[in-house]
A and B are shown apart, each in its own frame.
Chain A
Amino acid sequence: MIHSLFLINASGDIFLEKHWKSVVSRSVCDYFFEAQERATEPENVPPVIPTPHHYLISVLRHRIYFVAVIQSEVPPLFVIEFLHRVVDTFQDYFGVCTEAAIKDNVVVVYELLEEMLDNGFPLATESNILKELIKPPTILRTMVNTITGSTNVGEQLPTGQLSVVPWRRTGVKYTNNEAYFDVVEEIDAIIDKSGSTITAEIQGVIDACVKLTGMPDLTLSFMNPRLLDDVSFHPCVRFKRWEAERILSFIPPDGNFRLLSYHVSSQNLVAIPVYIKHNITFREGSSQGRFDLTLGPKQTMGKAVESVLVSSQLPRGVLNANLNPSQGTYTFDPVTKMLSWDVGKINPQKLPSLKGTMSLQAGASKPDENPTINIQLKIQQMAISGLKVNRLDMYGEKYKPFKGIKYMTKAGKFQVRT
């Protein structure tokens, strides 16, 4: 099982280590540093690194490498999933997951890691249970603790861990009972030079924020559940009911959680919200290149496309770019060659464009590579797959909760090749 954990920052310092079995010397990280040196980019460090006696499995989150050390055959995904859980927990507890936050809360971090693994076996990874065991630090609590001498370690047995619904703690009480659901969809797409779609898929999630008293039993039904044929559920969802009736039936955890994630891959269901007209050319022998980009809305069902951000890694030979945006602002970093254009909202009447010239090194040959354009955008009030929630019902409790559903579409890895 998981032997040890090292946290390494971007400059290569080990700033925290935790051992669940015997102590593994820090020197094991040298193999990691070697791999890190070989990698051109920080994210290119391979996730599994063999060393003569151990294996290092790492994830990179918030510019911190979480490096787990294992000695025997352990499923790597198990380790990676656990590391993700560690990151999520830190973020949950400290608001941010940064080196400074971890160092400031080093005792809580240690307590958490101790609760999360026992001898390398995961123990309590649900945020609900952890919060019962170890209360998250808040300014107020720190103050109170210093004055009264009380602790942020809970006295109670984490009862949830043993009930049939380990994800929910008992005795939850709210004055305002509310249940909000966010349907968020991200489009991953590759569009080729000519504007036709090579691949397009939707990664959707339904995130919930449920603050309900007692033990509510919720059902959520969809207008078009057929869309969902590839789904991953939170453990609280009753799978049998879904299989039989296509209804989500569950006792929700308390607070924020991801109820469902889904994947729509069949291409005819994936609408492409924007199109891009581009003309990026270099002429042989000339030290100038032309840059011309126009954006327009495509299949948006009448909704506005907002927060559009276009970025592109220009060829290495480009020295500078002199461009003129019809709206928004652009920046070009001559060192990283990263061009980014903050467009904002697309007005269908007056399409945003970015035109101008790029200057190349004098005498340099025409660049070999074609830049890829990356687009980020948001569309409110719409799930691009067309998924719609039909109704939400609550059983098991008497009060009437506030309910709300929000839809949102974003671009995930939306790439246009030129």
Chain B
Amino acid sequence: MMCDFLFSLVCTGEIFELKAELNSDKKEKKKEAVKKVIASMTVGKDVSALFPDVVNCMQTDNLELKKLVYLYLMNYAKSQPDMAIMAVNTFVKDCEDPNPLIRALAVRTMGCIRVDKITEYLCEPLRKCLKDEDPYVRKTAAVCVAKLHDINAQLVEDQGFLDTLKDLISDSNPMVVANAVAALSEIAESHPNSNLLDLNPQTINKLLTALNECTEWGQIFILDCLANYTPRDDRESQSICERVTPRLSHANSAVVLSAVKVLMKFMEMLPKDLDYYGTLLKKLAPPLVTLLSAEPELQYVALRNINLIVQRRPEILKHEMKVFFVKYNDPIYVKLEKLDIMIRLASQANIAQVLAELKEYATEVDVDFVRKAVRAIGRCAIKVEQSAERCVSTLLDLIQTKVNYVVQEAIVVIKDIFRKYPNKYESVIATLCENLDSLDEPEARAAMIWIVGEYAERIDNADELLESFLEGFHDESTQVQLQLLTAIVKLFLKKPTETQELVQQVLSLATQDSDNPDLRDRGYIYWRLLSTDPVAAKEVVLAEKPLISEETDLIEPTLLEELICHIGTLASVYHKPPSAFVEGSRGVQHKRLPGSSAAGVSEAPPAVIPSQGDLLGDLLNLDLTPPTTTGPPPPASSGMQMGAMDLLGGGLDSLVGLLNTVLSEAVSLRSSFNVPVSGGLDDLFDLGGGVGMPMGVFNPPKTVWLPAMKAKGLEISGTFVRRAGVIQMEMTLTNKAMSVMTDFAIQFNRNSFGLAPAGPLQVLTPLSPNQSIEAALPLSTVGPVMKMEPLNNLQVAVKNNIDVFYFSCQYPISMLFAEDGKMERQVFLATWKDIPNDNESQFQIKDCHLNSDAASNKLQGSNIFTIAKRTVEGQDMLYQSMKLTNGIWVLAELRVQAGNPNYTVSTVLVVLAVFKSYFSNTNQNE
């Protein structure tokens, strides 16, 4: 009966009727009218014209009517803000009702009225409700803070609601705790750098207690929050794991998966030889398996996550292969995921079973799935070497079925198997050739042509086969054309006598009759190679190919680590970092797995200078004032202490090594032939630079960081410069695609020196095709720190409207030398003596044509300061200091000897030392 009027209410006449009913004196009629209004609202009809009339019904004791009016209000307040103010009074009154249900309902509805004008009136009632005696009201109020924050963040902060919310984490009622955590998590998402959820052992304990008693949804919020915590040591980690493990038996799969996330993360901290570690591994398998017996939608999300877990810790599910076997009526999205995991779990032990399954799948109805199954057989062959033979014979069986798409897929994967195991399975070529005529897909044709070309010497009629393809050359797709061109050239190089005509034919087809520039270019290159130097041609065309890698589509390890921290989220479903795609997550912080605390600090190798005693003696002569200061000037760098520590823990070696290269390149003569450009460290100064060039850091020329073909047409080249103490990343963005690019954004992965963009990427205008734009990105050095390999490696993600692209580049370490790197003489002397020998290393720079003064000037331009200079036995000794942005000091001694006048080869000795005492200071400070 409800639906009768529901779908008949269209014309405005009915609106008038409703209006009359709403203003009726009879309660009953009023209520029925409101119900009708709600019903039409629900099906998307516009009944906002009735706003004042409905609001008038709000002053009622009838709870149902009140709720209905609230519903209406929430929906339409936005479009009628002035009217909505009329409702404020009722809310304030309801917030003081003796019935907590009414209080809670009022505070709940208040927050849903998304009208700026109203929000300020709501602060007082909300404040009262946050401190209400009834936990039901408190927990509702906690959520209301999040709602209000969404509407007016500033107001919430000014009113101090965030602090009240933080206090609620210690509430006695678990539901209040859970809702406070949920609200804070949501607010924190829009405040990347705030420490709203300041997790310490006390709060963790409270959360764990609440975890046992709150509802399933609350458990999810708390578990997700726990996952952000980094335990201090393995014992704390274990105790948290122990208290979270029971959640694995929860009926709600989201609770289970969130618990899995916490355990996967905290497990990293546990020593592998601990008994508990093994127990935990065993406990993780059953809940994951159980998730697979749930509804298909749940299975899908579970499978995407299991895919990650299997890559990180294959041992958990290695015995559970069978649960991933595909049922014929699974939805296709579940089938494909299962298949992928099966390949990841395939090993020598279970390969027979897996192959039998895959063969079975290859006879299924769904074409897409069959293709994937055939491909999977190929991947197994490549992954498990011992099974390759079996896989090949399975593929041959499948080819015998003559099912068109199966044959084509099989040929594509056999090509890959040939690449992986050259000269092993060529006996099957004959069988493949039988199926030549049935191939109609470009990929399969190209694969077949590749095989014929590659093994032309073993196929008697290779020329005939290739010739048959050549007939319809212009109708083929580019992929096939390119492959055919190469294959015929290969054939010619192997059997030059019979195939001259053929090769000429294909070259002319490719170069003269084709519009495709790729094909033309390749044709010309071959032509010229063949006509000028057949030997070189042989070397190029028949070069040995690199083997294809074992596991192809593995997720890159740092991304995998981050994704493991995001198990159960959208990121884990898409296998992309959350920052890459989630709208509104401004500045999601990259999460990393905590490392095992047992990792020791690696010792720097003892690189002792032979004349250690002399050196110290020399140093002592530098200045006669006795060393007064013992410590170095502790640089007041904030937030960088962690970075320094990180570097100390294993990074020292590479830092020293890196500095060596910098200095050597800094001092060495620039030679246009043998200096590698790719390093970006080309030269800090050149020979003539002393005269005309202004003082300053040498700016390496731009190099291509991101080639256009890897980034859907976006090319980025760039370099790093230091200007007036500010590090800048200068980039040229070129659009080589056909469409306009917009919405550029950039982000760095954590890196050794905490480099981070100091502002957004300033590419404001859309980049039209074939246009280039220069962008300078100022960098700060206060970002999160993680040791990279090599140390000066920087991983960058650039986003535009098309996709997200990743590249890595290396910055010159000289960029990090601070302007205040000149050390006081006494301090220098004292420090030099204090540094343990372990921290020293030395090496030589060859081919330097500078005298010591010029070198000193030059180096000063790069913020490497000469503290003192001495001449001993014709050797110039330069004592130098530099300071890295993260507060590490480097002291160096440079020995320059006037060299052979003919060659002017100077030898420079550099002694490097890093202030260890500085680290011990910072350690004490913490």
A interface residues (Cβ-Cβ under 8 A, vs B): 1, 14-23, 26, 39-41, 43-44, 46-48, 50, 52-55, 57-60, 71-78, 80-82, 84, 103-107, 109-111, 114, 118-119, 121-122, 125-126, 149, 151-158, 161-162, 164, 166, 188, 190, 192, 198-199, 201, 203, 229-235, 239-240, 243, 258, 261, 263, 265, 267, 313, 316, 368-370, 372, 374, 413, 415, 417
Q: Which residues of B contact A201 (CB under 8 A)?
A: 293, 323
Given contacts A1-B186, A72-B582, A77-B568, contact A121 B179 (CB under 8 A): yes
- Say yes or no: B327 contacts A50, CB within 8 Å: no
Interface-located stretch among B17-25, B209-217, B755-763: B209-217
Judged by a CB distance under 8 angstroms, whether B569 is at the interface is yes
For A26, A77, A110, the residue with the greatest tally of chain B CB atoms inside 10 Å of its CB is A77
Which 5 residue pairs of A and B lie closest in terms of their CB atoms, listed nearest first?
A230-B286, A151-B64, A153-B64, A77-B254, A47-B297
Q: Which residue of A lies closest to B104 (CB)?
A: A157
Interface-located stretch among B195-203, B357-365, B449-457: B357-365
Q: Which residues of A contact B217 (CB under 8 A)?
A: 78, 82, 121-122, 125
Supply 6 A–B pairs (Cβ within 8 Å), ascending by A. Answer: A47-B297, A75-B220, A76-B569, A106-B6, A125-B216, A235-B250
Q: Which residues of A contact B182 (CB under 8 A)?
A: 121
- Shortest Cβ gap from A187 to chain B (Å): 12
Given contacts A114-B71, A119-B112, A201-B323, contact A103 B570 (CB under 8 A): no
Contact partner of B189 (CB less than 8 A), chosen from A20, A53, A73, A230, is A73
The interface residues of chain B, by DSSP majority, are classed as: helix
Judged by a CB distance under 8 angstroms, whether B287 is at the interface is yes
Q: Which residue of B lies closest to A108 (CB)?
A: B2
- Shortest Cβ gap from A39 to chain B (Å): 8
Q: Which residue of B lies closest to A151 (CB)?
A: B64
- Say yes or no: B251 contacts A258, CB within 8 Å: yes
Judged by a CB distance under 8 angstroms, whether B522 is at the interface is no
Judged by a CB distance under 8 angstroms, whether B147 is at the interface is yes
Q: Which residues of B contact A103 (CB under 8 A)?
A: 2-3, 6
Q: How many angstroms between the C-alpha atoms of A52 and B581 in the bound complex?
A: 9
Q: How many angstroms between the C-alpha atoms of A414 and B569 in the bound complex?
A: 32
Judged by a CB distance under 8 angstroms, whether B583 is at the interface is yes
Q: How many angstroms between the C-alpha atoms of A53 and B574 in the bound complex?
A: 15
- Say yes or no: A75 contacts B250, CB within 8 Å: no
Q: How many angstroms between the C-alpha atoms of A331 and B38 in the bound complex?
A: 47
Per-residue interface assignment for chain B, residues 308 to 343, with 1 indicating a CB less than 8 Å from any chain A CB and 0 otherwise: 000000000000101101011101110000000000
Interface-located stretch among B39-47, B438-446, B783-791, B866-874: B39-47
- Say yes or no: B143 contacts A229, CB within 8 Å: no
The interface residues of chain A, by DSSP majority, are classed as: mixed
Q: Which residues of A contact B333 (CB under 8 A)?
A: 44, 46-47
- Say yes or no: B289 contacts A263, CB within 8 Å: yes
- Shortest Cβ gap from B219 to chain A (Å): 9
Q: How many angstroms between the C-alpha atoms of A152 and B569 in the bound complex?
A: 38
Q: Which residues of A contact B136 (CB under 8 A)?
A: 157-158, 161-162
Given A48-B570, A158-B136, 14 extra CB contacts under 8 A: A17-B42, A20-B112, A71-B583, A73-B578, A119-B143, A121-B179, A125-B215, A154-B63, A198-B357, A233-B250, A234-B251, A369-B365, A372-B328, A413-B327
Q: Which residue of B lies closest to A149 (CB)?
A: B28
For A72, A73, A75, A76, the residue with the greatest tally of chain B CB atoms inside 10 Å of its CB is A75
Q: Which residues of A contact B2 (CB under 8 A)?
A: 103-107
Judged by a CB distance under 8 angstroms, whether B111 is at the interface is yes
Contact partner of A73 (CB less than 8 A), chosen from B112, B173, B257, B585, is B585
Judged by a CB distance under 8 angstroms, whether B253 is at the interface is yes
Judged by a CB distance under 8 angstroms, whether B35 is at the interface is yes
Judged by a CB distance under 8 angstroms, whether B100 is at the interface is yes
Q: Which residues of A contact B588 (CB under 8 A)?
A: 73
Q: How many angstroms between the C-alpha atoms of A233 and B573 in the bound complex?
A: 26
Judged by a CB distance under 8 angstroms, whether B298 is at the interface is yes
Judged by a CB distance under 8 angstroms, whether B424 is at the interface is no
Judged by a CB distance under 8 angstroms, whether B140 is at the interface is yes
- Say yes or no: A157 contacts B101, CB within 8 Å: yes
Q: Which residues of A contact B63 (CB under 8 A)?
A: 151, 153-155
Given contacts A198-B357, A229-B286, A234-B251, contact A110 B42 (CB under 8 A): yes
- Say yes or no: A58 contacts B297, CB within 8 Å: yes
- Say yes or no: B179 contacts A81, CB within 8 Å: no
Judged by a CB distance under 8 angstroms, whether B249 is at the interface is yes
Given contacts A152-B64, A230-B286, A261-B251, contact A15 B365 (CB under 8 A): no
Q: How many angstroms between the C-alpha atoms of A400 and B356 in the bound complex?
A: 57
- Say yes or no: B401 contacts A368, CB within 8 Å: yes
- Shortest Cβ gap from A352 to chain B (Å): 23
- Say yes or no: B253 contacts A106, CB within 8 Å: no
- Say yes or no: A162 contacts B150, CB within 8 Å: no
- Say yes or no: B328 contacts A77, CB within 8 Å: no
Q: Which residues of B contact A114 (CB under 8 A)?
A: 67, 71
Given contacts A46-B300, A75-B258, A76-B301, contact A110 B573 (CB under 8 A): no
Q: Which of B44-67 contact A (CB under 8 A)?
A: 44, 62-65, 67
Q: How many angstroms between the C-alpha atoms of A263 and B300 in the bound complex?
A: 19
- Say yes or no: B252 contacts A81, CB within 8 Å: yes
Q: Which residue of A lies closest to B571 (CB)?
A: A73
Contact partner of A71 (CB less than 8 A), chosen from B252, B327, B365, B584, is B584
